[in-house]
Amino acid sequence: MLLKIGTRRSPLAMAQTNYIMGLIKAKHPQTEFSLHPIATVADRDRVSEFHQFGMIGVFSTEHEEQLISGEADIIVHSLKDLPTTLRDGLVLAAVPERADPRDGLCGSTLADLKPGARVGTGSLRRRAQIKHLRPDVEVVPIRGNVGPRLAKIDGEDGLDAVILAQAGLQRLGLERATSELLDPHVFPYAVGQGALGVEARAADAEILALLKDIEDPRARAEVDCERAMLHSLGAGCSLPVGASTSWDGDQLTLRAQITSLDGQKCIVASETAPSTQAVELGLATADVLRKRGGVEILESSYRSFGGHFKFIGA
């Protein structure tokens, strides 16, 4: 079979696409691939912060067009960048084994950050969570590919540290840049972080069957419960919602945290269910967050950013 793969050109996107091609080849050696590069909104506008786009899916909208037009058959996404609602006719066909989902603090450990230290991140979740742990540090908004973001440590921006996904660093062979892997109980990761997702057309039975062979059931259950939680809250990946999942036999525990942007308020919920009920687990966790006032925190995050956010499904 010939599979047409749509991909962004960033080093991380290319590494991820190559990795998925390798997984497919290992199961189905006769598969051939052609690559169809595309620029997304996030690639064309390198200046705005993510929440300023006023839209969700800054990495995925053009990709979904590629699938619908038939220009591509499959798209490899960082799952944390894939909105929880997909376009009609498209499905999340496979979630392979998940890499380390944790965030890495690069340039310094948490404890070694001096008062007033400048920590770079473009993510509202990371901003809120670092402020919650270290109200005395200054958060500096940064964007760009992983390599250039790392280069900002001790560079002209005078950053003391940046926060990056360990999985992305690993995929680029840059994991040694991490000074501290942040404990998910203290600094929960983004929904889907560290996991890749392959999106395809719902009608392509043959392609879906092939992709099922690279799925990891545990990663799928983790991602399903995390995404159900985020979807229920109406939040996208750039909002200050963190998550972590853990296993005890077949029992899956989802812990979720909503943090106000100034770091002063923080709400957590933790629920457990059999992994066959991953979606229900996500919804139940969102219910607890709502009861504890989580939506009010998300709405005030919205307001303090000038209403630039859009809730999914709202």
Ligand X SMILES: NCc1[nH]cc(CCC(=O)O)c1CC(=O)O
Q: How far is the CB of 243 from ligand X (least distance, A)?
A: 12
Q: Which two tokens stand for residue 45?
A: 């506008």
Q: How far is the CB of 280 from ligand X (least distance, A)?
A: 25
Amino acid present at 22: G
For residue 84, the tally of other CB atoms under 10 A from its CB is: 23
The binding site for ligand X (CB under 6 A) comprises 78, 80-81, 146, 164-165, 167-168, 193-194
- 8 Å CB contact between 240 and 262: no
Tell me whether residue 113 or residue 196 sits nearer to ligand X (CB atom): 196
Catalytic residue among 43, 45, 81, 287: 81
Over its C-alpha atoms, the chain yields an Rg (Å, rounded) of 19
Tell me whether residue 175 or residue 204 sits nearer to ligand X (CB atom): 175
Q: How far is the CB of 195 from ligand X (least distance, A)?
A: 6
231: exposed, middle or buried (Cβ count in 10 Å: 0-12, 13-18, 19+): buried
Q: Which residues contact 162 (CB under 8 A, 6 or more apart)?
A: 105, 106, 107, 119, 120, 121, 142, 149, 150, 152, 153
First-to-last C-alpha distance (Å) of the chain = 40
Q: How far is the CB of 193 from ligand X (least distance, A)?
A: 4
Report the residue number whose CB is nearest to ligand X.
Answer: 168
Tell me whether residue 193 or residue 260 sits nearer to ligand X (CB atom): 193
Give the DSSP letter of residue 59: T
Tell me whether residue 81 or residue 226 sits nearer to ligand X (CB atom): 81
Is position 248 annotated as part of the catalytic site? Answer: no
What residues act catalytically?
Answer: 81
